[in-house]
Chains A and B, each alone.
Chain A
Amino acid sequence: MGQHNKKTMTIDATDQAAGGGLLNRRFFLTSTLLTSAALASAKSAFGQEMVGQGQEDWTLYPGSDALEYGELSRFEVGRVKKLVGEVSGGRTATSAGRTPHHNLMGTITPSGLHFEVTHHGIPDIDPDRHKVVIHGMVKNPLKFDINALENYPTVTREYFMECSGNSRICYEDKPTKQHLDMTHGLVSGSQWTGVLLSTLLDECGISKDAKWIIAEGADSGSLSRSIPIDKALKDTMIAIYQNGERLRPGQGYPMRVLNPGFEGNTSVKWVRSLYVTDKPVMSRFETSKYTDKLYDGNALQFSLELDVKSVITRPSNAMSLAKHGLYEVTGLAWSGRGKIARVEVSADGGKTWAEAAIEGPVNSIMLTRFRIPWMWNGTPAILQSRAIDEFGRVQPTRKELISARGNKAFYHFHAIHSWGVDAKGGIEHVYA
């Protein structure tokens, strides 16, 4: 920087190539400060300061050229997903990337920050060699590649996606010290474009006795889940675009099932077979994996619909409150069944609640942003949010959830989350 300043204000004799301000051609190589160098020379001519005195470098010099694919600012490079493998099995069990909501605003998660959970890695699929077959209890078994799907009338809808393992760390006996990505990073929101599965099933001529559809992926585990027929005919889509561009490989390229509001694992990525039948297949992921172990030794199975839930994304433990005064408390709320009707915020650990402002339009089965101003007077506080959906379902307290199901469920933790703020403005996850 010192070198730049020197170049800005003075031009050495060695820089001058000829009179009238002409500089050595090598000046371009030793300094990027072309314009201010010229301005600096103007000073000597008229005895005035260059008008750009005090401006930042990026204002005084032309920037870089357009990129084929835009990138984050180099100053934002740390704002990425948290990569975590499940400790129980390492890479062989699960690979997950978690959305850093403490760094984000709005309700659409950038595609590159959308959470990913894979159990058998991300396949590298050539779309020209990928097809999905629909077969079983249908009159006409059909196959579709991505070009065929693109010919259909598509629907574009905003939906959140959530892994039912999101927030599972909150079942543990002590609050985690990690950031929000570890507690609430397995939920994201996107605009999805695809063909309604009902459109394709209609062309196949589905039997009246059909009750389930078994979806299978083309990954190296051929991941498979059973989808109830009422869901499949209601709003399930075969998604081919996310946020306006073709799916990312980690999101199921070239095509995936998308079951709005259902636990993420049912939205089978890289889908290549849809078998129409009258019974569930009882795949590994719907028996031994995504089932919720209860206090009494039983387990909930096909707990498909996601719950009503919310979390404060700012402030969070990724920051601290530097001084007393006015802050905005903001966060996200969602329900697997429909729209968020109301979000309430407490600054006293749930003793009193205030209704937060909801940023519309509120979409069904989509992240909804809430915000409320908060004057922090420097005393310890516990910030909480509580979501209520259009059906009157209310987000429970952690105590209520655990007393209903126990603390071994692993999945579907949707209780109220608490940020503890201490007198110094430090913030951490607490149970309250």
Chain B
Amino acid sequence: MFMRKSLIIASVLLSVHTVHAQESRFGEPATDADIAKRFWSVFPDGQFLPEGEGTAVQGAELFVDNCEVCHGSPEEHGIADALFGGIGTLGTDKMLATVGSYWPYSTTVFNYIRRAMPYTSPMSLTNSEYYAITAYLLSANGIIDEKAVINKKTLPKVKMPNRNGFINAYPEIPDKYKTKFD
């Protein structure tokens, strides 16, 4: 009896092993923690936005402490990409592409600064602080009110001025913008 039970256990183990081998030869199951450490994406519909919230008023102070040294202020550009103004300048000789004038999705602002900023210490702030800085960038560009609370529910609803300024070029560039041989 004991031996029979051992055999059953052995065969179950064997079959589990066989199934696993069919699924992946050398990969290992990725746990939720494995994924959470490596996956930082936030989608335009708000998918994967975290808890937390902030306002532009709170964000203004954080911006001065963490961002202004490279990005300057709404009044004066810094050495890094311009973030403010330029709305309505695309396609003109005075084109100024900024978060306000060019970026099509509000979620991208949060997504990018949370994963990549401040440049020398990315991921060093809290989710609420990243929400607050996002709120400040949107407010300083005149897109939202400075008192608006930005969180996972409100951020995806913010419509950016250049939301419709992009034309999909995959898999083909639209004929209008092709050269005669493209």
Interface residues of A (CB under 8 A from B): 88-90, 92-93, 120, 131-135, 139-144, 148-149, 151-152, 200, 203-205, 214, 216, 218, 220-224, 228, 230, 272-273, 275, 277, 279, 281-284, 287-288, 291-305, 307, 392-396, 400-401, 404-405, 408
* Bound CA span A222–B40, Å: 8
Q: What is the size, in residues, of chain B's interface with A at 8 Å between Cβ atoms?
A: 54
* Bound CA span A234–B81, Å: 36
* Bound CA span A212–B85, Å: 32
Distance to closest chain B CB from A129 (angstroms): 11
Instruction: Name which residue of chain B comes closest to A292, CB basis.
Output: B169
Give chain B residues whose Cβ lies under 8 Å from the Cβ of A279: 43-45
Q: Report whether B168 and A302 are in contact in the complex, using a CB–CB cutoff of 8 Å.
A: yes
Q: Report whether A288 and B40 are in contact in the complex, using a CB–CB cutoff of 8 Å.
A: no
Apart from A90-B79, A283-B112, A302-B168: 14 A-B pairs, beta carbons within 8 A:
A133-B39, A143-B34, A216-B41, A228-B170, A273-B38, A293-B90, A297-B90, A299-B90, A301-B167, A302-B169, A303-B169, A393-B181, A395-B181, A405-B177
Distance to closest chain A CB from B161 (angstroms): 12
Knowing A143-B27, A287-B104, A287-B166, say if A133 contacts B95 (CB, 8 Å): no
- The contact of A133 among B23, B38, B116, B165, by CB within 8 Å, is B38
Q: Report whether B108 and A142 are in contact in the complex, using a CB–CB cutoff of 8 Å.
A: no
Can you offer 25 A-B residue contacts whose CB atoms are under 8 A?
A88-B81, A89-B79, A92-B70, A92-B119, A134-B27, A148-B28, A214-B41, A230-B171, A273-B38, A273-B39, A273-B41, A281-B111, A283-B41, A283-B108, A287-B103, A287-B104, A287-B108, A297-B90, A298-B166, A300-B166, A300-B169, A305-B171, A393-B181, A393-B182, A395-B181
Give chain B residues whose Cβ lies under 8 Å from the Cβ of A230: 171
Q: Report whether B80 and A89 are in contact in the complex, using a CB–CB cutoff of 8 Å.
A: yes
- B102 in contact (CB, < 8 A): yes
* Bound CA span A301–B167, Å: 6
Distance to closest chain B CB from A43 (angstroms): 68
Instruction: Name which residue of chain B comes closest to A299, CB basis.
Output: B166
* Bound CA span A200–B24, Å: 8
- B178 in contact (CB, < 8 A): yes
* Bound CA span A101–B169, Å: 30
* Bound CA span A148–B27, Å: 6
Q: Report whether A288 and B102 are in contact in the complex, using a CB–CB cutoff of 8 Å.
A: yes
* Bound CA span A272–B119, Å: 20
Main SS of chain B's interface residues? loop
* Bound CA span A230–B171, Å: 10
Q: Which of B55-76 contact A (CB under 8 A)?
A: 70
- B7 in contact (CB, < 8 A): no
Q: Which of B3-48 contact A (CB under 8 A)?
A: 23-30, 34-35, 38-45
* Bound CA span A395–B180, Å: 10
Interface residues of B (CB under 8 A from A): 23-30, 34-35, 38-45, 70, 79-81, 90-92, 95, 97, 99, 102-105, 107-108, 111-112, 115-116, 119, 122, 165-171, 173, 177-182
* Bound CA span A298–B92, Å: 11
* Bound CA span A309–B123, Å: 40
Knowing A220-B116, A221-B115, say if A142 contacts B95 (CB, 8 Å): no
Distance to closest chain A CB from B17 (angstroms): 15
* Bound CA span A48–B90, Å: 83
* Bound CA span A89–B78, Å: 8
* Bound CA span A395–B41, Å: 37
Instruction: Name which residue of chain A comes closest to B182, CB basis.
Output: A393
Give chain A residues whose Cβ lies under 8 Å from the Cβ of B115: 221-222, 224
Instruction: Name which residue of chain B comes closest to A90, CB basis.
Output: B79
Give chain A residues whose Cβ lies under 8 Å from the Cβ of B34: 131, 133, 141, 143
Q: Report whether B167 and A299 are in contact in the complex, using a CB–CB cutoff of 8 Å.
A: yes
* Bound CA span A134–B28, Å: 10
Give chain A residues whose Cβ lies under 8 Å from the Cβ of B44: 279, 282
Interface centre among B92, B107, B180, B181 (most CB of A within 10 A): B181
* Bound CA span A90–B78, Å: 10
Q: Report whether B116 and A222 are in contact in the complex, using a CB–CB cutoff of 8 Å.
A: yes
* Bound CA span A227–B29, Å: 23
Instruction: Name which residue of chain B comes closest to A132, CB basis.
Output: B38
Knowing A134-B30, A302-B168, say if A89 contacts B177 (CB, 8 Å): no
Give chain B residues whose Cβ lies under 8 Å from the Cβ of A283: 41, 108, 111-112
Give chain B residues whose Cβ lies under 8 Å from the Cβ of A144: 26-28
Give chain A residues whose Cβ lies under 8 Å from the Cβ of B104: 282, 287
Q: Report whether A296 and B91 are in contact in the complex, using a CB–CB cutoff of 8 Å.
A: yes
* Bound CA span A220–B118, Å: 10
Distance to closest chain A CB from B64 (angstroms): 17
Q: Report whether A300 and B167 are in contact in the complex, using a CB–CB cutoff of 8 Å.
A: yes
Give chain B residues whose Cβ lies under 8 Å from the Cβ of A292: 169
Distance to closest chain A CB from B49 (angstroms): 12
Distance to closest chain B CB from A113 (angstroms): 28
- The contact of B29 among A143, A214, A288, by CB within 8 Å, is A143
Knowing A293-B90, A307-B182, A400-B180, say if A224 contacts B70 (CB, 8 Å): no
Distance to closest chain B CB from A126 (angstroms): 15
- The contact of B23 among A134, A140, A400, by CB within 8 Å, is A140
